[in-house]
Structure 1
């Protein structure tokens, strides 16, 4: 993986702009750097290389095809580069970048994208057709930011490179701020800046290299429908075979490879398959010392059974301040998933041992593992059981009843037991007038149901938040899984891992996010793939067949942290400074009185850490990146 940047457009300072943009992503590729300026067209590419395959100078980028027609700056990996090299009649090619160019020359861009199995974001100049192709991988593992301005199109792996463009206007998008407060991240095509977008996963944008105008925007891949009865049922044997093929391809590297191993079934399956094909596999786990969140014991048991070289770290309260202060620069734009704290610490630790790490991400989306998949239908039934006006008026009472049963019965979703009464009441009130389950699920995914109430009056707009792409299903579980694959996965989970890993030059690979694995997983019968208990039954069965005697808890914990207590303890002073009236007024985005009330209620014992963390992320990023925002 690498860092890329570039410009398509007639700028007097083209060379300097491209160089400045490339310098900002140096951390993504510390091994070498390169710049390409076309002699005839107003196009410039920058590249920072993280060498994983073909460590020789032959892998240097930007790279030109053998014919000279194509030039690419490319971030990612083509896992099936060996098979592709054979298809183009060049089996000796050792660089996946060279294979990419050979495929494009042989098959064209559209057909090549169908054949690529990998994670990537790249810019490809076709000098003959005078066009630049901007492409992002199917699942959105690799980021690609685009700013279409009056003097050209600017693109990069990270937002900071766009910020480096001379003369660019960086106006905060209030809809993006509201989306951050609601969903912990800024999703879809939006960014924190009004005039900068993200290219969506599975999309291909073509730019006229002469005029810098759009020629086309196409979606070259979309995920299949979960549990589509017309596609034929798959078997566990097919799934096991697809997972093994995916893991084996993702072990291809000319540098040391490891695996992230939590206490969950997803990473256990990936590590088990990897260990069968990699005799000296390193595995890595992080913990926070709190038994309610620490899964090191389960991970250690799996590592011992596999015989891996296992490594552990514990994140102590003494580590917290340094980590949270690094989050704004690491995550490039406001990002409020608190599991970024241990993720950043773990990635720094992993990089000291290996250069590539496999992860278990994607398992929850493919096999229905999130606790909210049980929570959402339950609360939807409650919200629809009575007239909407009554539900809205009695939301707090109904929330107390649900909370009572949740604490008495382990059958209630853990996510409900851990949420505050305020949140449950807000969910019921927000969904009392919902016209569809998709709208209700948007509320379930929200950390706060009235984000506009936290904004300063001058920033309030009609609700502009976007739940992302939605597909209607009669099957609620299928709808939630599909929604999360399209939105939550690329906007939150993959952002968390990519930015933390690439901040230290570590490449992460995600075997679950393979088109063949997805296709098989979503053709499994529901009771086989997900299971009656919504516990990723297929993965548990595969793990049991491959690694007997290992028990994985059925209740998903995730990579969580005791944030509520931290904000009353070791992080209180840091948070108090960011949430002081003077800091809130300096930034000017939020209503100081509303935020102070939220903060004081949390300190008095109400667990309001979820909305507070989004506020803190916004404050910390704005003060570090721009200093203040003075107008809407």
Structure 2
């Protein structure tokens, strides 16, 4: 796991000196030191500058980067792991490629030089890399199938620049990084800026499963993999499908145990992380597991993690914290994120990564099943909304909806009124927008009064949520639920879940691996009809059946709980001074972005308990903390 950065300078005269380019490159990689504290590599090759920060995982002695092939034809800077690199080395060596190290990095060079972009199909792992082909003067870059590793890029004045984080690009003095108000609207809607856009104008994220080519000043991107469509009803029995799934999961875990440093497992006590812990414990003696607990009972799940740790005799490490005390860390964590992202669980994820890194360098986690196996409550809610929509209009508008207004408000884990209002808003939305309506902090309608001078075009839902519709339309499954699952994986998981895990783990120089996002596992699950994932109201149906004999019954019978913190009460309590300062009328008027009257209304209603605006206020607070820390130039 590492950090990469670089740029390709156009010809035509006026090029900066080598000393200038090396200075810029060093500044960019220096911003990524937390991703790679074990070494720095800088290389100038003609117009191309490649930088690398290394976190040593495999071939500790000889795996330094940027790395050239033995014949000096190409050089690569790489972030991630190629899990099948040993098999690929044998394959490529048989085709005449000469390897000089035991590192997985070298197989990327072999794949390109022997097969070009088609060589990406052979790589199994998580990766983002940039490779410079000296002969063709081509930059070739790619991102893994699910986007576990980040890759940002921009083309300005003929100069292509890239990096693992926007913080690296911000160090390059020849780039112009400006934040358009349109990006802020998108963030307020999604709680992140969806791929391929970023918080900055003309700076993009490379899509997952895509590659980039830059040659003679021309930049192109293309797809090399996508999630397969659901197939017909399997001929195999459910028992055989369960057996195949267990085999694939075991294989995925085994692939991710390859390392020359200590490993461990994130263990929350849920089905997903418990499955990873159980499979790992069967392959490694006395595996280390890590969990975070809270003193507040309604948010604490540590007893479930302890139950699993005891069942599999792991070396368990646990830290119990006060959820209220965690709020003081929020400004520091948000400031270190290269883009604003309003997932409240960044705080416990940051702390979990800190505890884990004190003991190991690599951790396996349970990310992926909620998207692939329809584990979120939004999936059965999607079907329920379809049924609700079929009810007679009088039943919906004169009976059910008036009754929901009698439900109580609560600042706890579940707010009945908030849940009901959110469900009804999504039920009224078209299919493609339904789940995103439930996920959004601010709808297009809610944003109409939020901004001082909003771009009128984005206040239309079709424009504001165009990235979601594009994904929904791009996956031609006949089953709408499968299209929802695709959009979830390609948007919510990509830009919310995986970004959170990557940034929080790498802040502590910890590598996080996700066995459930193994290509073979994912393709197997994607091809299953939806009823093997959601059976009635039973979520993760086949997964839970497959691991029923592996996990304690108490774990299998649990309802899903997110890695949550008491946001609603924080906003009324310990974070109230920051709310008053950053969302106060004086600050907002000086800033000139928001409508102070509307923000004041949201703050007052939440403070008195008249309404639950936790999502809206949390999103605004995170944005203000990020703007305060990064101070970008805001443009119309």
Instruction: Tell me if TM exceeds 0.5.
Output: yes
1:268-347 matches, within 5 Å, as 268-317=274-323, 319-347=325-353
Q: In structure 2, the residue corresponding to 1:545 is in which secondary structure?
A: coil
Structure-2 residue corresponding to 1:418: 414
CA distance 1:533–1:431, shift in 2 (3 Å) = closer
**CA distance, structure 1, for counterparts of residue 442 and residue 389 of structure 2:** 17
**CA distance, structure 1, for counterparts of residue 303 and residue 155 of structure 2:** 50
CA distance 1:573–1:428, shift in 2 (3 Å) = same
Structure-2 residue corresponding to 1:401: 403
* Cα offset, 1:504, TM superposition: 1.1
Structure-2 residue corresponding to 1:250: 256
1:500-539 matches, within 5 Å, as 500-524=504-528, 526-539=530-543
Moved more, 597-606 or 527-536: 527-536
Structure-1 residue corresponding to 2:454: 459
Structure-1 residue corresponding to 2:48: 43
Structure-2 residue corresponding to 1:100: 108
- Alignment check: 8 A CA contact 1:544 1:550 kept: no
**What per-residue deviation string (whole Å, max 9, x for no partner) do you get for residues 609-630 of structure 1?**
111111001100001110774x
Q: Work out whether 1:261 is the aligned partner of 2:255.
A: no
Moved more, 224-233 or 373-382: 224-233
Q: Work out whether 1:448 is the aligned partner of 2:442.
A: yes
**What per-residue deviation string (whole Å, max 9, x for no partner) do you get for residues 296-319 of structure 1?**
111110010010011111232564
- Alignment check: 8 A CA contact 1:243 1:517 kept: yes
* Cα offset, 1:111, TM superposition: 2.7
- Alignment check: 8 A CA contact 2:407 2:417 kept: no
1:153-232 matches, within 5 Å, as 153-208=160-215, 211-214=216-219, 216-226=220-230, 228-229=232-233
Structure-2 residue corresponding to 1:6: 6
* Aligned positions, number: 612
- Alignment check: 8 A CA contact 1:420 1:607 kept: no
* Cα offset, 1:548, TM superposition: 4.9
* Cα offset, 1:519, TM superposition: 1.6
* Cα offset, 1:225, TM superposition: 1.6
- Alignment check: 8 A CA contact 2:426 2:433 kept: no
Match of 2:484 among 480, 485, 490: 480
* Cα offset, 1:526, TM superposition: 4.3
* Cα offset, 1:558, TM superposition: 1.2
1:53-132 matches, within 5 Å, as 53-56=58-61, 58-89=62-93, 93-105=101-113, 107-132=114-139
Q: In structure 1, the residue corresponding to 2:167 is in which secondary structure?
A: helix
- Alignment check: 8 A CA contact 1:288 1:561 kept: no
Q: In structure 1, the residue corresponding to 2:71 is in which secondary structure?
A: coil
CA distance 1:551–1:440, shift in 2 (3 Å) = closer
Match of 2:628 among 623, 629, 632: 623
**CA distance, structure 2, for counterparts of residue 237 and residue 230 of structure 1:** 14
**CA distance, structure 2, for counterparts of residue 52 and residue 533 of structure 1:** 42
> Alpha carbon RMSD of aligned pairs, Å?
2.7
Q: In structure 2, the residue corresponding to 1:4 is in which secondary structure?
A: strand
**CA distance, structure 2, for counterparts of residue 324 and residue 154 of structure 1:** 30
Structure 1 length as normaliser, TM-score?
0.91
**For structure 2, which runs of at least 5 residues remain unmatched after alignment?**
none
* Cα offset, 1:427, TM superposition: 5.9
* Cα offset, 1:551, TM superposition: 3.3
Q: In structure 1, the residue corresponding to 2:456 is in which secondary structure?
A: coil
**CA distance, structure 2, for counterparts of residue 220 and residue 499 of structure 1:** 25
**CA distance, structure 1, for counterparts of residue 183 and residue 87 of structure 2:** 42
CA distance 1:556–1:224, shift in 2 (3 Å) = same
Structure 2 length as normaliser, TM-score?
0.90
Q: In structure 1, the residue corresponding to 2:349 is in which secondary structure?
A: helix
**CA distance, structure 2, for counterparts of residue 423 and residue 14 of structure 1:** 54
**CA distance, structure 1, for counterparts of residue 206 and residue 112 of structure 2:** 21
